[in-house]
Each structure stands twice: as C-alpha cells, then as structure tokens.
A and B are shown apart, each in its own frame.
Chain A
Amino acid sequence: GENVEQHPSTLSVQEGDSAVIKCTYSDSASNYFPWYKQELGKGPQLIIDIRSNVGEKKDQRIAVTLNKTAKHFSLHITETQPEDSAVYFCAAVYDYKLSFGAGTTVTVRA
C-alpha cells in the first residue's frame, strides 16, 4: 500500500512569515494529492489539492508543488496569520483510498 511521510511534525512561525510542509509518497501510481487543515474539535478541511499532471497550484496565500519523479510534494503558506494555526495533513490517493501523512502542527506566533 501507499506510505506517506510528512515533515516537520511541528512548525512555529512568526506572523507574516512563510511556512513550508513537505511530504513524500511511495507508490508511483498515486495521482491525486490533497492537503487538509484540521482545527481543534473539527474534521479535516480540504484546503488545496493537486493532480499528478500538474506541477504547481496556487490559491491566494496557499500553494502546492509536486515533483512526480522524486515522489515529493509540498505545501507553502505565505504571509501566515494567526488563523493559520492548525494541524495540516498531506495525503496521497492510491487505489481510491486516501493515505495520510502523520500531520504537522503549525503555530503562528503573533
């Protein structure tokens, strides 16, 4: 099955700085890579996704890049704000199933 590794496990940034979370996956057949944000007491919320035929996608302050050759994808958050504090999960779709990374706890310091 698919194995997704995510780093770092915790990330503390100053408000206004950028945050970068990196993930690697094991199965070259995976072709869809969503990112989820989970706030305390809530379910994961889809924030951005990328398909295997695209190298980069951006949505306002959030961007995701994908390197299929290296089996590596990353989430970039620019101009971080206090409301960006949450746990972020990367995932890869293999055989119609989502395989999640272990999560990154992002704390934005005011």
Chain B
Amino acid sequence: KAGVTQTPRYLIKTRGQQVTLSCSPISGHRSVSWYQQTPGQGLQFLFEYFSETQRNKGNFPGRFSGRQFSNSRSEMNVSTLELGDSALYLCASSLVQTDYNEQFFGPGTRLTVL
C-alpha cells in the first residue's frame, strides 16, 4: 500500500507570494492533518480535515488555510508569505478520526521563503 505523498517536495518563494501544497493520504484514510516543523518551534499542529470538513485548527494566523476534497486529498495554502514561514510542512493521514489517532506522515514539503 502506498504511503502518504506530498507535492512538491521543495519550494522556493519570495515574501508576499502565496503557495499551495498538496497531500495524498494513504488509500482509505479519511483524516488528513497538517503540521509545520521548524528548528525553533518543533512540530506544530496546523489543522485537521475529516470528510472534507475542518475539524480542528491550531494556533496559526488566517494566512494559513486548507481544504480537503471528496477523494480525501488535501491542500494547504499560505498567503502573503513571510520569512518565518520557511519550514518543513508535513501531512499525516489516519484511517478515522478517533482518540487513538494513529497518524502516518508523508515526507514533507520543504518551503523556503526569501
């Protein structure tokens, strides 16, 4: 069974631009979560989607948004990029949204903002 895939793997943008990242979950998984990983802040939860609905959101500004499609694929968008948005963005999928949330991560998208 194929794992979680994320595209693109690397991205370079300049301040003020916007970016869209894509995530394809493991087949059959309906929950997709997004995380930001930086050396200073570690792994931080962005948001989680289940059946095309955002069920949870972390403490990030409104510039960060996402959506999920009917096939469970998900995208996240960051508008008006700032230098501090440079990070590894990780997507994780799980079979269902339960307390025992076994999440499987993709390889991430490395975003560099210049």
Report A's interface with B, CB cutoff 8 A: 31-32, 34, 36, 41-46, 49, 51, 89, 93, 95-103
Contact = CB atoms under 8 A, between A and B. Distances in A.
B42 A96 contact: no
Nearest to A49: B102
A24 to B, nearest CB: 15
B100 A97 contact: no
Interface string B97-111: 111111111111000
Contacts of B105: 36, 43-46
Interface residues of B, number: 25
A51 B97 CA distance: 15
A96 B104 contact: no
A93 B100 CA distance: 8
B107 A96 contact: no
B99 A103 contact: no
Contacts of B33: 97-98
List 8 A-B pairs, minimum CB-CB distance, nearest first. Answer: A43-B105, A100-B43, A32-B100, A44-B105, A43-B107, A102-B42, A97-B45, A43-B108
Given A93-B99, A96-B55, A97-B45, A41 B107 contact: yes
Contacts of B107: 41-43
Contact of B90 (A31, A43, A97): A43
B101 A96 contact: yes
Contact of B4 (A36, A43, A102): A43
A51 B100 contact: yes
Nearest to B88: A43
A72 B18 CA distance: 41
A102 B15 CA distance: 28
Contacts of A36: 105
A84 to B, nearest CB: 19
Interface in B17-71: 33, 35, 42-45, 48, 55-56, 58
